[in-house]
Amino acid sequence: MLEKVLDEVKQIIEKVKKEGDKALYELTEKFDKVKLDYIKVPKEKIDEAYERVSDDIIDALEIAKENIERFHLATAPESIRVDYGDAILGKIYVPIEKAGLYVPGGRASYPSTALMTAIPARIAGVDKIVACTPPAKDGVNPLTLVALDLAGVDEIYAVGGAQAIAAMAYGTESVEKVDKIVGPGNIYVTAAKLLVQKDVAIDMPAGPSEILIIADETANSDFIAYDCAAQLEHDPLAKAILVTTSEEIAEKVKRKVSELVSQGEFKAILVKNLDEAFEIANKIAPEHLSIFTKNALKMLGKVRNAGSVFLGEYSPVAAGDYASGTNHVLPTGGYARVYSGLSTETFMKHVTYQMLSKEWLEKYGEVIIKIAKAEGLPLHAKSVEERLK
């Protein structure tokens, strides 16, 4: 799929690199059918957004924000120091300086993605957080503006698509050039992220939504069907896979899913036992893995490849999407084999350090000298020999 749009996306990126804001105005009018009055959203527009969003929704966003903050604060990496007596070694975690968030929008609004991307960046300590989100004819969706503001974003740009990724990667007159770009998007956004990653870091490739559910005979088939349908409603290319030991469960879920949603791909796989089910799941490496079995928590040890795991009947994926506190920006398309979901670590890097004593160098100096000489690097060896005189 990506190959079909790569040439077009390359042209968009080059246009933005050469023409800056002028390209953003033209491309937004071409693709979004919106004639922009501005690229950087003015503060008064953000203030107006609060007037256009109901208090109930703002309260809900505040509660979701608290839960997301609580989890990401608790799981942020901590610096490590190891003292061996004659040597001190360690690892410190430091935030990147500038992060660019992509929040899908236009016809729809995804305030949850605003929270999921901005809050970990802020907790990580990123100096400058900016966000791009597509505009509609009456401007950026007010719900998205409120969520981005609540989450602590410094600047918001009314730009979407591949042109937004190019703008954050290379900078324009209005858009800040960043060190890393994160967030989900359509095929054009994904293609753009993959093309610019030689010049700027990205979080992960992200494609259509997917869920894999492992279920035994004790599972509630209606709950499973609704979780499958919830993922399929995202996108016509979305996938839902049920892997179960029960033929009865498989049939019930299949019927119910077909009643609930007409798009996306649903598949049921019958297996002899749960070991076989987890073997399939780990091979597929799904974005979302739901486990509907007896003693679901004990099954966590069988999981190797998954973006995020939902255990038991009362853990719908929607909870993780919005308010439980974990993150919904997750690897898709099998990338969970090598990528993790978005977290504070996404916005940090680690730096190792060492402070060695004279005694340590006397003890291990010959080891260093021998290896350096074996590699044909005599000055490496000499840098140690001089200290040992």
Q: Which of 279, 271, 213 is nearest to 245 (CA)?
A: 271
272 within 8 A of 196, measured Cβ to Cβ: no
Phi-psi category of residue 365: left, alpha or beta, with phi > 0 → left and psi -120 to 50 → alpha:
alpha
Q: Compute the distance between CA of residue 342 and CA of residue 335 in angstroms, rounded to an integer.
A: 13
209 known member of a binding site: yes
Sequence-distant (≥ 6) Cβ neighbours of residue 15 within 8 angstroms: 23, 27, 163, 166
163 known member of a binding site: yes
321 within 8 A of 234, measured Cβ to Cβ: no
287 classed as catalytic: yes
155 classed as catalytic: no
Q: Compute the distance between CA of residue 314 and CA of residue 43 in angstroms, rounded to an integer.
A: 41
For residue 357, CA distances in Å to 85, 206, 354 come to 9, 47, 10
226 known member of a binding site: no
Sequence-distant (≥ 6) Cβ neighbours of residue 68 within 8 angstroms: 115, 116, 119, 120, 323, 325, 327
186 known member of a binding site: yes
72, 176, 210, 288: which is the annotated catalytic residue? 288
262 known member of a binding site: no
Using DSSP, state whether 22 is helix, strand or coil: helix
265 known member of a binding site: no
Q: Which residues of 172-197 are buried (b: 16+ CB within 10 A; e: fewer)?
A: bebbbebbbbbbbbbbbbbbbbebbe
339: phi then psi, degrees, rounded to nearest 5:
-115, 155
210, 287, 328, 345: which is the annotated catalytic residue? 287
Q: Compute the distance between CA of residue 23 and CA of residue 14 in angstroms, rounded to an integer.
A: 10
- Feature table: binding site for Zn(2+): 231, 234, 321, 380
- Feature table: binding site for NAD(+): 102, 163, 186
- Feature table: binding site for substrate: 209, 231, 234, 288, 321, 375, 380
Q: Which residues are catalytic?
A: 287-288
- Feature table: binding site: 102, 163, 186, 209, 231, 234, 288, 321, 375, 380
